[in-house]
Chains A and B, each alone.
Chain A
Amino acid sequence: MTTQSTQKYEPGTHPDLPPPFTASGPVKWVRENLFSSPANIIMTLLAAFALYKMVPGMFSWAFTDATFLAADRNECRALSSGACWAFIVQRWELFTYGFYPEAERWRVNLTFVLLLVVIVGLLWENCPGRKWIIRFSIIFPFLAFWLIMGGFGLQRVTTDQFGGFMLTLIIGIVGISLSLPIGICLALGRQSNLPIIKYACIGFIEFIRGVPLITLLFVASTMLSYFLPPGTNFNLLLRVLIMVTLFASAYMAEVIRGGLQAIPKGQTEAADAMGLKYWASMRLIVLPQALKISIPGIVNTFIGLYKDSTLVIIIGLLDPLGIGQASLADNKWQGLSTEVYLFVAIFFFISCFAMARYSLYLERKLDTGHRN
């Protein structure tokens, strides 16, 4: 880039000028990032070679040589040498709905569409009709419960018929939307001046963190019935939801406590000095800042919770992984574990990656140029 001759001005008369045009473009980027030094050149070439060796093979296995329609494994093998997606295609509904009655699946679909609307409305600030969506989001949980469980005019569906992605989403979304508020309360409680609240919170957090989730799930599936009065039939899915939520809440509480500690004492002092009450100062001053710095940790906990939902397989709930395992036992489709696990992995990756990207977007949006 040639620089224009810079004009001279009398002192004090210099006008505001637009910033200089910085050179950019693909060639420059490549030179600066891929070929800037001998070591960099070697790395670039090695990486390119590795990609060249791996990508075409993977691509043809997954797409060009793959079979999408076949009656069983043998037919797949006869048709081509690549992946046998026919299995997934055939079991698609099982993977999605579990054993939810076929005639009622529209209810799940409808709930899912409404869920998407609510998520978009809540997370996207400029969404049209956001005000209405936010109001709707308050009744949505009840509506979703009714649609999925039935009753009041809809055919009842029992929770042991749930499975697949639907189950993962139920556990993930209930866990995520409850663990954040519970975690906030626990984190605030842990800092309370009232010893009873403080030690109750500490005890809870440390107990839950000190026990593996699987143990909690076993407790949920078996032991709770000993503690509860005889005759109470406490739904297994509900128990799992409670345990998963509590587990994530304990982690969430610690993540948020970290954020709370990072807020300078002057912030609460300024709020106090203005006459704001404790809850107002928490809600308006401290939490917005603490949650903002905790976003990476919060989303990390969300992602952990979401993936941990696969552990329910151990107590007999059939999430996508469970469905996959059960399906692999089918004689007609032996030896397809790569396809099944890859498929499930892609599902989880897409959801988790979306959460991670959203958290980055949020961090950037909330950045107000403040540096401590």
Chain B
Amino acid sequence: MNTETQKVQHELGDVAIKIHEMHKWYGSFHVLKDINLEVQSGERIVVCGPSGSGKSTMIRCINRLEEHQKGDIIVDGTELTNDLKNIEAVRREVGMVFQHFNLFPHLTVMENCTLAPIWVRKTPKTEAEAIAMQYLERVKIPEQAHKFPGQLSGGQQQRVAIARSLCMNPKIMLFDEPTSALDPEMIKEVLDVMIELAREGMTMICVTHEMGFAKTVANRVIFMDAGQIIEQNEPNEFFNNPQNERTQLFLSQILQH
């Protein structure tokens, strides 16, 4: 059997993320409504839902790129409040991969990867470079280390972005549609890296519409619509036997093609 389609399985640990009755507004627009979510460490969660349903907003609340107005978010034992110390502590432990990579174009791949370890973790430069090289090897682009991001393909850039996050040695990784800006042939190379990561036991929350990935990797699939979590279930149940009609509609739409 192909290793990639083998189900990734792990023992789950303690609570990594706890979101409790969380609400968020943009001005008067109520984007997130009563979000409750608990993520065990080692758990891999896929979030899906129609465009504008608040998926990005929700995962961006977890590292405080967006501020919630009501309820609690506790990440790795630290509650997210206005306290900058707490926010920085959470951000050190939570890596994020963006749809549009957000690599730093003025720095080389290597510098992109060593920047945070050097400035945030105060790792000595040579050590940071050794670690970066290790992760670049894992995402299979060590030979690009001295190029600038602008000289790489989209798939390579996204793999650098993943390596860059991993260099901080995070406990949790957030992915916001990491493959949706990529051409089809590059999607696989990025997904392979993510599957590998899942296999090693990383706690992951991925917003994605790659259902194959969800089936292979996820412990749980969450469906969001209009700012609410409508349904969540383990992948087989979720895809084969969706309960809510909005979920059914959504699945029928994305599975059509």
Contact = CB atoms under 8 A, between A and B. Distances in A.
Interface in B94-127: 94-96, 98, 100, 102-106, 115-116, 119-120
Interface string A268-296: 01101111110010001100110010000
Nearest to B121: A275
Counting chain B residues whose Cβ lies within 8 A of the other chain, the interface size class is 20 to 34
A368 B102 contact: no
Interface of A: 264, 266-267, 269-270, 272-277, 280, 284-285, 288-289, 292, 366, 368-371
B65 interface: yes
Nearest to A285: B104
Contacts of B95: 273-274
B168 interface: yes
Contact of A370 (B102, B148, B165, B168): B148
Given A266-B100, A266-B102, A273 B65 contact: yes
Contacts of A366: 106
Interface string B167-197: 0100000000000000000000000000000
Interface string B33-70: 00000000000000000000000000000010100000
B106 A288 contact: yes
Contacts of B103: 270
A368 B105 contact: yes
11 contacts: A264-B100, A267-B102, A269-B65, A269-B98, A273-B94, A273-B95, A274-B91, A274-B95, A274-B115, A277-B88, A369-B148
Nearest to B168: A274
B215 interface: no
Contacts of A272: 63, 65, 91
A267 to B, nearest CB: 6
A129 B94 CA distance: 43
B106 A371 contact: no
B120 A274 contact: yes
B150 A368 contact: yes
B41 to A, nearest CB: 19
The secondary-structure label for the interface of chain A is helix
B149 interface: yes
Contacts of B119: 276, 280, 284
Contacts of B115: 274, 276, 284
A274 B92 CA distance: 6
B106 A273 contact: no
Contacts of B120: 274-276, 280
B248 interface: no
A275 B102 contact: no
B104 A270 contact: yes
A371 B88 contact: no
A274 B118 CA distance: 11
10 nearest A-B pairs in the assembled complex, by CB-CB distance: A370-B150, A370-B105, A266-B102, A270-B102, A274-B116, A275-B91, A368-B148, A369-B150, A273-B96, A275-B92
B150 A371 contact: yes
B106 A289 contact: yes
Nearest to A369: B150
Interface in B122-174: 148-151, 164-165, 168
A273 B96 CA distance: 6
A369 B107 CA distance: 11
Nearest to A266: B102
Contacts of A280: 119-120
B67 to A, nearest CB: 12
Nearest to B96: A273
B49 to A, nearest CB: 21
Nearest to A366: B106
Nearest to B92: A275
A273 B103 CA distance: 12
A266 B105 CA distance: 12
A239 to B, nearest CB: 39
A368 B107 CA distance: 8
